[in-house]
Structure 1
């Protein structure tokens, strides 16, 4: 009976983590969907927007394609992001237990490996939907190639080489996910610990479950999440650009050269556009979207954990 009760409790914890992670992912991506779309258009040098900046591009989208075009591709994003967020955060909790037992509770490597493993696991399960979302977001009104998620998937599968087409850019995504997810979770966990240890009077409050532990206040959650996202994006961004160019390569005959491998794509981007205008193109907008996205993601997850009774608070000694 005790074993059955323990199994039920573990299953309940996993299901609650899945719900918390999925909601966190959906909230964070919806919050920055307009910035996500203009980032994709700028990264891949869309002919209608490549001469514009962030805010000029957003104005042009509204002028050319109307307000809701800011959220083009967000439907596919939501289909993808719930399982992605659910998998990422749940996997992080599971990996954290595993690596903490192996390496110790204060191990920096355990935090980084837990985050990296969580990111890689989530990408493996949801990558085709990210490719489809990028294709839909790249389309401009009046020049549509795809009518929706299913049509995009079927068309790519039939015309671009089967399942491989849905995984264009997968290698740079995995390579970029290790530093991005690893650093974002690592930074958030450490920033949270530092706030609780050195600034509890300003950043923490008692746990709602009255366990004697502390939880971060909402502004502190947002700050820690935003800083974690900024640090992680700074290191992984060139691989994000590479992924997008590979995902969108078949959209235009002039860009098909970008779909033939990660190293070749990075080399082409560098030779044609350099570092700042190529590998880091759209970095300004990426900070504008990555910081609030990470802030909302981590904050929503922490709040959902408290709401679902998963967070018992942290005791700092």
Structure 2
């Protein structure tokens, strides 16, 4: 066919045809941006899916006086009665501001650097975690600065965040990547299918992606959960009556263990976390894999 003919395209010629001059460069130029967007969308979809469970988890971890005598499902029912159904989504706006760059950089870094760039998004992950006891982001900034020691108040819980992020993100991505590799290697026809944007690339079927993501989230949360409890209590220190006992990571870990033990302290709310993290991570990994195909990242 004539090279000037619009029908003479690489798509019409098949997956093995050469791209026009400059086409590959154009795709590479926007690869980082597309990968960033894919990760951000995946993170936001995952967190929105489980926002009510996140709210209940934080209330249980902080031993909120309105709900501390209740269990997981009792709290889920009590919050709408006391605060309305929007109470289950309280702070979700700030959560999206935090999660989009967190998820975007996390997934992009995993694909490109295998976690070398992970600490870049620590600030985003930590900074926008202050939302439980405030009316909004601006109000939270003012209250934290005036009542929690100026700028140092914004960094309460930084150490357990740093320490806890490595096992959580590491085990999550490692488990998902391992399950994906084993599944495609051992049962490609049963578990895999050609990618929508590149038939030469094999990807997991959607329901298999959901399963692998859920397993990865459950394992990662089990390992890092005590540090998550520690981080939350340190961040909410100003609104808790025992805030003077939770000034450092080690001090907080000891205090929670001595006062409440392992099951009711360090792992309080873990059953809820299993319910929360399995769909959250399942949606995150599955959305990211679909976004990679939609944005031609394969």
Residues 280 and 119 of structure 1, relative CA distance in 2, 3 Å threshold:
farther
Give the TM-score, by structure 1 length.
0.83
Q: Is the 8 A contact 2:225 2:270 kept in 1?
A: yes
- Residue 120 (structure 2) pairs with residue 121 (structure 1): yes
Alignment of 1:1-317 (within 5 A): 9-96=27-114, 114=115, 117=116, 119-130=118-129, 132-133=130-131, 136=132, 139=133, 146-252=134-240, 254-311=241-298
Report the alpha carbon displacement of residue 120 of structure 1 after superposing the two structures with TM.
3.2
Residues 165 and 7 of structure 1, relative CA distance in 2, 3 Å threshold:
farther
Q: Is the 8 A contact 1:168 1:259 kept in 2?
A: no
Q: Is the 8 A contact 2:158 2:231 kept in 1?
A: yes
Between the aligned partners of 2:201 and 2:38, the Cα distance in structure 1 is 21
Structure with the larger helix share: 1
Between the aligned partners of 1:265 and 1:71, the Cα distance in structure 2 is 27
Between the aligned partners of 1:36 and 1:240, the Cα distance in structure 2 is 12
Residues 126 and 237 of structure 1, relative CA distance in 2, 3 Å threshold:
closer
Residues 204 and 7 of structure 1, relative CA distance in 2, 3 Å threshold:
closer
Report the alpha carbon displacement of residue 15 of structure 1 after superposing the two structures with TM.
0.1
Residues 67 and 93 of structure 1, relative CA distance in 2, 3 Å threshold:
same
Report the alpha carbon displacement of residue 94 of structure 1 after superposing the two structures with TM.
2.1
Between the aligned partners of 1:168 and 1:54, the Cα distance in structure 2 is 26
Report the alpha carbon displacement of residue 119 of structure 1 after superposing the two structures with TM.
4.4
Q: Is the 8 A contact 1:245 1:258 kept in 2?
A: no
Gaps of 5+ in 2: 1-21
Larger Rg: 2
Between the aligned partners of 2:174 and 2:67, the Cα distance in structure 1 is 36
- SS at the partner of 2:193? strand
Give the TM-score, by structure 2 length.
0.89
Gaps of 5+ in 1: 97-113, 140-145, 312-317
Report the alpha carbon displacement of residue 93 of structure 1 after superposing the two structures with TM.
1.8
